[in-house]
Amino acid sequence: MTDLANCEAVNVLVWDERQPRQAEAYDNVIGHEIAVQLEATDKDIRLMSVTLDDPKQGLSSENPD
C-alpha cells in the first residue's frame, strides 16, 4: 500500500485548443476552467493550462513533469 501522505504533488498539464466558440460557453477558456476545478478539489495538484499557440505547443521542458 502506498503512503499518499508522503507523496509529492501531482503535476497536471491541461492542453486545450482554445477555439473561439469556447467563449460562448465559458468566461475563461475550457482548459483554464478544468484547471480551476481540479485545483479546487486537491491542493496537492500542480496545474498548468497550455495551448497550440504556446512555444512547443505547451510541451516545453520548463513545464512540470
Could you read off the pLDDT of 9-45 as tens digits, one per residue? 788 888 888 888 877 887 778 888 888 888 888 778 8
Does residue 63 belong to any structural domain of this protein? no
Q: What is the structure's pLDDT at 6?
A: 63
Whether 19 is covered by a domain: the verdict is yes
12: in domain? yes
Please report which helix (H) or strand (E) contains residue 48, including its range: strand 45-51
Domain encompassing residue 33? 4-58
pLDDT greater at residue 58 or residue 30: 30
Residue 3: what pLDDT? 55
Model's pTM, two decimal places?
A: 0.61
How many domains is the chain built from? 1
pLDDT on residue 1: 46
Asked if residue 11 lies in contact with residue 65, where contact means CB atoms within 8 angstroms, the answer is: yes
**Angle 53-14-11 from CA coordinates, rounded to 5°:** 125
